[in-house]
Amino acid sequence: MPKTAPLFQAESLKLKQAPMLPADSEDSALSLRLKQYLKSQDIDQIWEGYRYAYQAHDGVVRKTGEPYIIHPVSVACVLADLHMDVPTILAALLHDVVEDTLITTGDIKEKFGEQVAELVDGVTKLDKIEFQSESQAQAENFRKMLLAMSQDVRVILVKLADRLHNMQTLEAMKPEKQKLIAKETLEIYAPIANRLGLNAIYQTLEDLSFQYLYPMRFNAISKAIMAARGNRKEVVSKILESIKQQLASMSIDAEVSGREKHLYSIYRKMTSKATPFSQVYDIYGFRVVVKDLPSCYYALGALHALYKPISTKFKDYIAVPKANGYQSLHTTLLGPFGTPIEVQIRSSAMHNIADAGVAAHWLYKSSDAQLTALQQQTHQWLQRLLEIQSESTDSLDFLEHFKIDLFPDEVYVFTPKGKILALPKGATAVDFAYAVHSGIGNACVAVRINQELAPLRTELHNGDHVEIITGALAKPNPAWLNYVITGRARAHIRHFLKSQQSTESGHLGERMLNQALRALHVEPNSIEDVHWQKLIRDYGLKTKEEILSDIGLGKRQNVMVAHQLLAMTDDHVEKHTKLAKSLDTITIRGTEGMAVQFAKCCRPIPGDPILGFINKDKGLVIHTHDCPSVRKFKLDPDKWLDVEWEPESERLFKTNLNLTVANQPGMLAKIASGIAEAGSNIDNVSVEESDGSAYANIYFTVQVRNRIHLADLMRSLRKIPDVVRINRAKISVTGSTAKPTNQ
Nearest CA-CA partner of 133 in 124, 142, 125: 142
Cα separation of 138 and 225, whole Å?
Answer: 34
CA atoms within 13 A on the CB side of 580: 7
Within 568-666, where are the H helices? Answer: 628-633
**What residues have CB less than 8 Å from 530, skipping those under 6 apart?**
none
Cα separation of 572 and 390, whole Å?
Answer: 84
**What are the angstrom distances between the C-alpha of 228 and each of 235, 263, 336?**
11, 13, 16
Is 100 designated active site? Answer: yes
Nearest CA-CA partner of 193 in 217, 209, 171, 177: 209
Which H or E element spans position 599? none
Nearest CA-CA partner of 17 in 34, 29, 6: 29
CB atoms within 10 A of CB 273: 9
Which H or E element spans position 167? helix 153-168
Output the DSSP codes for 490-536: HHHHHHHHHHHHHHHHHHHHHHHHHHHHHHTT--GGGS-HHHHHHHH
Buried-state track 559-594, b at ≥16 Cβ within 10 A, e below 16 = bebbbbbbebeeeeeeebeebeeebeebebebebbb
Nearest CA-CA partner of 146 in 110, 192, 101, 107: 192
Nearest CA-CA partner of 738 in 639, 643, 633, 624: 624
SS3 596: strand
CB distance 281 to 328 below 8 Å: no
Q: Which of 42, 48, 66, 100 is catalytic?
A: 100
Q: Which of 44, 99, 110, 683 is catalytic?
A: 99
Beta-sheet strands, E only, within 33-119: none
CA atoms within 13 A on the CB side of 233: 5
CB distance 414 to 395 below 8 Å: no
What does DSSP assign to residue 186? I
CB distance 287 to 254 below 8 Å: no
**What are the angstrom distances between the C-alpha of 547 and each of 413, 498, 553, 561, 564?**
45, 16, 10, 9, 12
CB distance 587 to 620 below 8 Å: no
Question: Tell me, what amino acid is at 427?
Answer: A
Which H or E element spans position 310? strand 308-316
Crossing angle of helices 86-94 and 40-56, in 10° steps, is 10
Report the phi/psi class of residue 709: left, alpha or beta, with left for phi > 0 and alpha for psi in -120 to 50: alpha
Give the active site residues: 99-100
